Structure 1
């Protein structure tokens, strides 16, 4: 039997903080590697799907029963029209691009005359771009 070796120098002792850092670093590296591996697997097994944007149609907007606005209802009537129209926008998932276009479809009588006099000089497409 060979003789046992004895060391004259002691092995360096690790502090609790050094051990925690070593474990945390190892876990972090393993998680990053796992995430990269999963991303590669997803990319190779199925194509990425682009989200489908569902746009509100005028028919859907009108099916939510927005109220008509004449322009003679006064301030309270105007506020109610704004509130109801915003509710309809929310319910019908109307995008910003169509809000002016669709809401002007609820204008009648004096309000419609005002809208036409506003839109005519600048063009209807420019008028629809207002917020």
Structure 2
């Protein structure tokens, strides 16, 4: 009888230990998600590329938006809101890439205008030479 009682107590003790340890193990596994380091670095690189491409001059609004989104992403990481930080970092990268695209388009347009003026000047010169003959 005593051995039965001891077996029962040991079984209950095991159950209690399992009930106490299981939640602790679950809490330990449920750690906060990791910061979106790759997305943050991609956003920083895209912003640096936009600045190097002179986007401030040609697409300043897009570049400022990229910088605002990146700053918000960093704040979200500090507040441990990693999903929001990931989204904001991606938006920052996209805004910076848009700034680069608009800058390249503006530069291409300026080159096209300059080439058009050059072609007009060449046409004018050819007309003058034709009139002199």
Q: TM-score band, normalised by the shorter chain? A: under 0.3
TM-score (norm 1): 0.27
- Larger relative contact order (C-alpha < 8 A, sep ≥ 6)? 2
